[in-house]
Structure 1
Amino acid sequence: MKVLTTELPGVLVLEPRAFEDARGSFMEVFHTGRYAEAGISGPFVQDNLSRSVKGALRGLHFQEPHGQGKLVQVLAGSVYDVAVDVRRGSPTFGRWTAVELSAENRRQLWVPPGFAHGFCVLSERADFFYKCTDFYSPTSERSIAWNDPALAIPWPLSAPLLSPKDAAAPCLKDAPVLPVFMG
C-alpha cells in the first residue's frame, strides 16, 4: 500500500495494491496492522454504503461530540472528495484538501475526527463506502455549507443535488458547534 500525505496533517490518500490477471483483480481494502503503521488506528465500529447519482453532493458533514474518523473509498463510479479542518485553534483551521476517488484508481481517503467531509458525484452513479471510528449520532450530526465563500472549494459543479439539511448548512464562521484542536 502506498500512503500519500496531503497539505492537512493527518489526512491521507491511500493506494492499496491491486493484483490483476486474466480472471480480474484482487485488492486488500483494509488490514489493521498495515493501516495502523500508516497512522490509521481504529477501532472501526460502523461501515456505511451510499449510492448517489451524478451531480449529488453530500456534505460537508462531521460529528461533535462523537467525532468520526472515516476511511472512504468508491466501489463504483467516481467522486470529488473533500476534507476540511474544522477544529477550532488548529493551525490549518478552515483549510481543505480534495482528491478524486474512483473505482478505477482504487484510492482511499482517511479523514480523521475533527474534519468535515463531503463529496460530489462525477459519474452517472457512485457507490461510496466508508468505515467509521464512532457510531452515527443524530444529536451530534453537524454540517458546513458546501459553498462557503471563505472555504472557496472549487467543486466541479455549480448546481448540485442537495438534501434539505445540506442546503441549509451554515458557513464555517457561523457554525454553532465545532471540535477543538487538541494539539
Structure 2
Amino acid sequence: MNVIPTRLPGVLILEPKVFEDTRGLFYESFNARTFAQETGVTTDFVQDNHSESHRGVLRGLHYQVENAQAKLVRITHGEVLDVVVDVRRSSATFGQWIALRLSAANRRQLWVPETFAHGFLVLSDRAEFLYKTTTYFNPSAERCIRWDDPDLAIDWPLEGPPILSAKDQQGQWFRDSELLP
C-alpha cells in the first residue's frame, strides 16, 4: 500500500496494491496488519456503512463531538469529491480543509481521524461510498457544518444547487459550531 500524507496531520491517502490481468483485478481493500504497519495507526473498526447517492448529492460536513468516529472511506462505483475539515480549536490547521477525488477507477482510500469533519459531493451519475468507522454512530453527538460556509470557502465543483438532506440543510456556520478542543 502506498501511504500519502496530506497537509492535515493524520489525514492519509491510501493507494492499495492492485493486481490486474486479463480476468480482471484483485486488491485487499483492508488488512489490519498492513494498515497498522504502513500508517502507524492501530484501530478496531466496529461498523461498516454503505451509501449510494446520485450526481449532485452533497453529504456533510459531519462529525461527532462525543464518541468521535475515525473513518476509512472508499468508492466502489462512480466518483466523489471528498472533503475533510480540521475542527480542533487547538490545532495549527484549525479550519483548514483538503479535497480529494475518490473513485472506483483510482481505488484511493482516505483515512479520516476522529477530529475532523467529513463530507462529499457526488460527481458521477451514481456513486457507492463505503466507510469503516472506529465507533458507533451517535445521533445525539453528531454535528453538521454548512457545506457553503464562507469562512471555510470550500471549492465544490457544483453544476447547480446541491441536493441536500434535511439535516444538512440545517447545518451550522463554522464559527457557531460546537467544535472539538
Q: CA deviation at 1:88?
A: 1.5
Which residue number in structure 2 is paired with residue 33 of structure 1? 33
- 1:5 CA drift (Å): 0.7
- TM-score w.r.t. the length of structure 2 is 0.97
Offset from partner CA, 1:8-56 (integer Å, 9 cap, x none): 0000000001100111100101111111121332110000000000000
Q: Give 1:98's aligned amino acid.
A: A
Gaps of 5+ in 2: none
1:71-96 Cα offsets, whole Å, 9 max, x none, are 00000000000000001211111000
1:144 deviates by 0.5
* Structure 1 residue 173 corresponds to structure 2 residue 175: yes
Deviations 1:138-166 (CA, angstroms, capped at 9, x unpaired): 11111001110010110011410001111
Identity of aligned residues (%): 55
Q: State how far apart, in whole Å, the 2-side matches of 1:133 and 1:33 are.
A: 16
How much does 1:172 deviate?
1.0
For 1:99, the equivalent position in structure 2 comes to 100
Say whether residues 1:133 and 2:138 are aligned partners.
no
Mind listing any 5+ residue stretches in structure 1 that lack a counterpart? none
- Paired position in structure 2 for 1:109: 110
Equivalences for 1:139-154 in 2 at 5 Å? 139-154=140-155
**Structure 2 residue aligned with 1:5:** 5
Separation in structure 2 between the aligned mates of residue 179 and residue 85 of structure 1, nearest angstrom: 9
> What is the CA–CA distance in structure 1 between the aligned matches of 2:82 and 2:93, rounded to whole Å?
18
Find runs of 4+ consecutive structure 1 residues off by over 2 angstroms. Answer: none
Deviation at 1:179, TM superposition (A): 1.6
Give, as a single letter, the amino acid of the residue that structure 2 aligns with 1:20: E
Q: How many Å separate the matches in 2 of 1:169 and 1:66?
A: 20
**Could you tell which deviates more after superposition, 7-16 or 164-173?**
164-173
Q: Which residue of 1 aligns with 2:125?
A: 124
| Distance in 2 between residues matched to 1:118 and 1:165, nearest whole Å | 13
Question: 1:116-150, CA deviations, whole angstroms, 9 ceiling, x for partnerless residues?
Answer: 00000000000000000000011111100111001
1:84-116 deviation line (CA, Å, top 9, x unaligned): 000121111100011000000000000000100
TM-score (norm 1): 0.96
Match of residue 14 from structure 1: 14
Q: Which amino acid is the alignment partner of residue 163 of structure 1?
A: S
